[in-house]
A and B are shown apart, each in its own frame.
Chain A
């Protein structure tokens, strides 16, 4: 009985939060307890730590592979491990009711994976496993066999565009930078992923950090840089750890440091931890931050490619852009250019979240329609609710309504409807989401994250937020919609950096497509989605109230009265419309209208 057994446990941030570590520990114990050691299977049995495979909603995901046959389990908890090992590993019978269903497979089948290809398959803490999937081959080829011009040409020909938001052609940017006379040039990987609802950079670094390092080596060689930086959020401790592990391993093997691959090319990478400022995702603010200053953006031109970090020509690309580089070198520009649409080549990693069945990290060929993403990969809307809109591009993007469900997802497509790709966040909203409240949410975010340097962003976003707030609270005035539109356009057109330029997008796009919701708030003082508490009235349906007293305890202002086991009542004069009773009621007796 010499079977080859591999057990894969999903250990991304999602996996760990769902109890991945405990599952891992239990697995080790159960293997030992089951006496599998005596059967001498342990040598072949690997307990893998793998990175995110994108389907975090089903965590903890565990793959059990016996002699090449894989069964994938979902929602595994510590207490389930014993039976798993007993029945499946020892008894040879997979536990069918715990296995993932068809949706797990369609979730993956519809995707095209370049960046995420090896995520969830290789141990991100082992450089050997990365080498096993042709890791560092592209870097070796570039440094040992190609000229910088050839590398830049390959990237240009591939059509790779920056995946961080702007979508500027990466090869063109590299060429600009390389064209500057300078004794030093810098290459920076922007891993300061701060968009609410985006986690692709974190997942890629947690799951395959070497791919990013290799992409940076290739970029550094192309522009002639000997020092690179990864600017990463300190709030991503696991990603930071894995990045350091990977950098050290790469240094030990001679992929970083001096005389790379036996040539005269020297290159090393330093890690800088972001200190919590969304605006530092903006190139010039990021540079200021690496220089140790307040992350206040600087005016462009001059662009960083000409005058960047410490005044030297600098390239800044994001995690996903760099992770695309090694495959392009390995498989050729033509291969990459054959994927995607005419102007947007390759794939895009998307964090698919919100009111959707299958949330998670996905990678799609550019040009796939919203419908395919939401219904085929995402499995449709959660619960029995109706689809309302999809928010793309984070706080810089916009909301796309139902009528554009067949819209192809690529840079041009999203821009044509007033949204943008951004870093690839996609939040699906259903009928219970109020669009005015969504715009307000994003403005709350951008307003808090404004650095305060330029006037339109500093005061303009504050005023936008104030107007939105009064609308959601029933204080909206006639003319507020027009005022919002005018101010939004002015902030967009006169702000200093990308944050201010794009901050009004959520306002502009929600007014464009959901003007009627704004009007309902202002004219009828109603929130059609029943989200804005101040516009609602809470009351208790007597026939459904069992008199349990939960709502009485939840109410902070003592507005609810009623005897035990008798229907309760809300005093509307006292009610502050906080919604606590609605949340507290387990019998659906509290109604809001």
Chain B
């Protein structure tokens, strides 16, 4: 394991000891620092903290926030709440998939520039359908508008 990663994990460990962090918080910190939940990191941490790796894996696969694979530079999140649904969120997803050349269950583009995901209702129903690119919220979207909106992120 790279020295740098070990240092990152050690500091997460020290923080967890100080704050009494649980596994979810540890994984959240891990993902923030490393981008996704890496197997090597989990085993290292499991040994360090004397917590079975199976618990980390169980938690990481239970919550939709955790990712076991690297994700794209830009994250496009389409809200799949009721209102977004009845106002056509699915058509936005289809259009974006076509635009980003994503097949079936693929979420991340080959050049690692975009990851397309669904999120449960973000509670911005008044401006449905809603798409979030990284942290920016786009309200009242349509498939065509969205294609335009992701253009600036393509560079």
Q: Do A and B touch each other in the complex, judged by CB within 8 A? A: yes
Q: Judging by beta carbons under 8 Å apart, are A277 and B24 in contact?
A: no
When the two chains form their complex, are residues A277 and B139 in contact, meaning their CB atoms are under 8 A apart?
Answer: no
Which 8 A-B residue pairs are closest in the complex by CB-CB distance? A292-B22, A199-B123, A56-B126, A275-B63, A17-B137, A276-B64, A196-B81, A276-B65
Tell me, rounded to whole Å, the shortest Cβ–Cβ distance linking B118 to chain A: 9
| A14 B65 Cβ-Cβ under 8 A | no
Given contacts A59-B127, A360-B126, contact A198 B121 (CB under 8 A): yes
* A/B interface sample: 11 pairs, CB < 8 A: A18-B127, A196-B85, A199-B124, A202-B123, A234-B65, A237-B135, A275-B63, A292-B21, A295-B62, A295-B63, A583-B91
Q: A353 contacts B125, CB within 8 Å? A: yes
Across the interface, A292 reaches (CB within 8 A) one of B23, B139, B143, namely B23
> Which residues does A use to contact B, with CB under 8 Å?
13-14, 16-18, 55-57, 59, 193-199, 201-203, 234-237, 272-278, 289-296, 351, 353-355, 359-360, 391, 394, 425, 427, 429, 433, 438, 441-442, 445, 449, 451, 556, 578-580, 583
User: Given the complex of chains A and B, what is the CA–CA distance between A472 and B24 in angstroms?
Assistant: 39
Q: A292-B23, A391-B82 are in contact. Are A277 and B62 (CB under 8 A)?
A: yes
Q: Which of B58, B82, B120 contacts A427 (CB 8 A)?
A: B82
Kindly list chain B residues whose C-beta atoms are within 8 Å of the C-beta of A201.
123
In the bound complex, do residue B123 and residue A56 qualify as a contact, i.e. CB atoms below 8 Å apart?
A: no
In the assembled complex, how far is the CB of residue A577 from the closest CB belonging to chain B, in whole angstroms?
13
A295 to B86 CA separation, bound complex (whole angstroms): 29
B11 close to chain A: CB less than 8 A: no
Whole-angstrom distance between the alpha carbons of A441 and B139 in the complex?
21
CB pair A578–B94 under 8 Å, yes or no, is yes
Band of interface residues on B: 35 or more
Q: B127, A57: Cβ atoms under 8 Å?
A: yes
Distance between Cα atoms of A203 and B21 in the complex (Å):
28
Assuming the contacts A391-B82, A425-B82, A583-B91, asked whether A56 and B120 have C-beta atoms less than 8 A apart, the reply is no
User: Which residues of chain B come closer than 8 Å to A289, judged between CB atoms?
Assistant: 24
Residue of A with least CB distance to B61: A294
- Chain B residues with CB under 8 Å of A57's CB are 126-127
Judged by a CB distance under 8 angstroms, whether B93 is at the interface is no
B78 proximal to A (CB < 8 A): no
Interface contact B126-A359, CB-CB below 8 Å:
yes
Report whether A194 and B91 are in contact in the complex, using a CB–CB cutoff of 8 Å. Answer: no
Which of these, B59, B81, B88, B124, contacts A56 with CB under 8 Å?
A: B124
